[in-house]
Amino acid sequence: MIYLDYNATTPCDRRVLEAMEPFLKERFENPSSLYRGSRENKKAIEQARQQVARLLSCAPEEIFFTSGGTEADNWAIKSTAWALREKGNHIITSSIEHHAVLNTCAFLVKQGFRITYLPVSAEGIVDLEVLKKAISRETILVTIMHANNEIGTIQPLTEIAGLLKEKGILFHTDAVQTAGKLPLSVKELGVDMLSLSGHKFYGPKGVGALYVRKGWRLPPLLHGGEQEHGRRAGTENVAGIVGLGEAARLAKEEMAEEAVRVRALRDKLEEKIRQSVPEVIFNGHREKRLYNTANLCVKYVEGESMLLHLDFEGICASSGSACTSGSLEPSHVLLALGLPHEVAHGSLRFSLGKYSTESDVEAVAAVLPEIVAKLRAMSPLWPKER
Amino acid sequence: MEYTEKVLEYFRNPRNMGKMENPDGVGRVGNPVCGDVMEISIRVKDNRIEDIKFETFGCGAAIATSSVVTELARGKTLEEAEKITNQQVVEFLGGLPPVKKHCSLLAEEGLKAAIADYRARQARKKAG
pLDDT at A329: 80
Chain A CB within 8 Å of residue B19 CB: yes
Q: Is the pLDDT of residue A33 over 90?
A: yes
Percent of chain A with pLDDT over 90: 96
| Predicted-complex ipTM score | 0.94
Position A188, amino acid: E
- A300 to chain B, closest Cα gap in Å: 7
pLDDT at A323: 52
Facing residue for A379 by CB, picked from B34, B57, B100? B57
Q: Is the pLDDT of residue A27 over 60?
A: yes
Query: What residue spans define the domains of chain B?
Result: 5-122
Query: What residue spans define the domains of chain A?
Result: 2-7+256-378, 14-251
DSSP for A102-129, written as a single string = HHHHHHHHTTT-EEEEE-B-TTS-B-HH
Contact B39 A380 (CB under 8 A): yes
A97 exposure class (CB count in 10 Å sphere: 0-12, 13-18, 19+): buried
Mean pLDDT across the stretch A348-360?
98
Give the confidence band of B33 by pLDDT, cuts at 50, 70, 90: confident
Distance between the two ends of chain A, CA-based, in angstroms?
36
A123 exposure class (CB count in 10 Å sphere: 0-12, 13-18, 19+): middle
CA atoms within 13 A on the CB side of A11: 12
B52 φ, ψ to 5°?
A: -150, 135
pLDDT at B34: 84
Q: Is the pLDDT of residue A192 over 60?
A: yes
Summarize pLDDT for A194-212 with one digit per residue, the tens.
999 999 999 999 999 999 9
Facing residue for B32 by CB, picked from A312, A324, A342? A342
Mean residue pLDDT of chain A comes to: 96
Chain B CB within 8 Å of residue A34 CB: no
Chain A CB within 8 Å of residue B18 CB: yes
- B60 to chain A, closest Cα gap in Å: 5
Summarize pLDDT for A144-174 with one digit per residue, the tens.
999 999 999 999 999 999 999 989 999 999 9
- Confirm whether B59 is a catalytic residue: no
The structure's pTM equals 0.95
Contact A380 B58 (CB under 8 A): no
CA atoms within 13 A on the CB side of A334: 27
Task: Please report residues of B whose CB lies closer than 8 A to that of A379.
Answer: 37, 55-57
pLDDT at A321: 58
Task: Please report residues of B whose CB lies closer than 8 A to that of A341.
Answer: 32-35
Task: Please report residues of A whose CB lies closer than 8 A to that of B102.
Answer: 328
Summarize pLDDT for A294-318 with one digit per residue, the tens.
999 999 999 999 999 999 999 999 9
pLDDT at A347: 96
Tell me how far apart the alpha carbons of residues B74 and B63 are, in angstroms, rounded to a whole number: 17
- B123 to chain A, closest Cα gap in Å: 27
- Confirm whether B34 is a catalytic residue: yes
Distance between the two ends of chain B, CA-based, in angstroms?
51
Q: Which of B12, B34, B50, B120 is catalytic?
A: B34
Handedness of CA A53, A59, A65, A69 (dihedral sign): negative
Contact A302 B19 (CB under 8 A): no
Summarize pLDDT for B7-27 with one digit per residue, the tens.
999 999 999 999 999 999 999
In chain B, which residue's Cα lies nearest the Cα of A299?
B57
Summarize pLDDT for A316-333 with one digit per residue, the tens.
999 865 555 555 688 999
Contact B63 A381 (CB under 8 A): no
Mean pLDDT across the stretch A107-130?
97
pLDDT at B128: 79
Tell me how far apart the alpha carbons of residues A355 and B33 are, in angstroms, rounded to a whole number: 37
CATH number belonging to the domain at A14-251, selected among 3.40.50.300, 3.90.1280.10, 3.40.640.10, 1.25.40.10: 3.40.640.10
Give the confidence band of A384 by pLDDT, cuts at 50, 70, 90: confident
In chain B, which residue's Cα lies nearest the Cα of A378?
B55
Tell me how far apart the alpha carbons of residues B6 and B12 are, in angstroms, rounded to a whole number: 10
Total number of residues shown for chain A? 386
Tell me how far apart the alpha carbons of residues B101 and A258 are, in angstroms, rounded to a whole number: 44
CA atoms within 13 A on the CB side of A48: 30
Task: Please report residues of B whose CB lies closer than 8 A to that of A310.
Answer: none
Facing residue for B57 by CB, picked from A300, A324, A341? A300
Facing residue for B28 by CB, picked from A326, A380, A384? A380
Task: Give yes or no for a contact between A210 and A195, defined as CB atoms under 8 angstroms apart.
Answer: yes
Q: What residues have CB less than 8 Å from B124, skipping those under 6 apart?
A: none
In chain A, which residue's Cα lies nearest the Cα of B39?
A380
> What region does B39 belong to: left with phi over 0, alpha with psi -120 to 50, or beta?
beta
CA atoms within 13 A on the CB side of A342: 14
Neighbours of A30 (CB within 10 A): 14
Chain A CB within 8 Å of residue B33 CB: yes
The CATH fold assigned to B5-122 is: Sufe protein. Chain: A (3.90.1010)
B117 φ, ψ to 5°?
A: -65, -40
Chain A CB within 8 Å of residue B17 CB: yes
- A303 to chain B, closest Cα gap in Å: 7
Could you tell me which CATH class the domain A2-7+256-378 is placed in?
Answer: alpha beta
Contact A341 B57 (CB under 8 A): no
A84 exposure class (CB count in 10 Å sphere: 0-12, 13-18, 19+): middle
Angle (nearest 5°) at CA A341 between A337 and A346? 90
Task: Please report residues of B whose CB lies closer than 8 A to that of A377.
Answer: 17-18
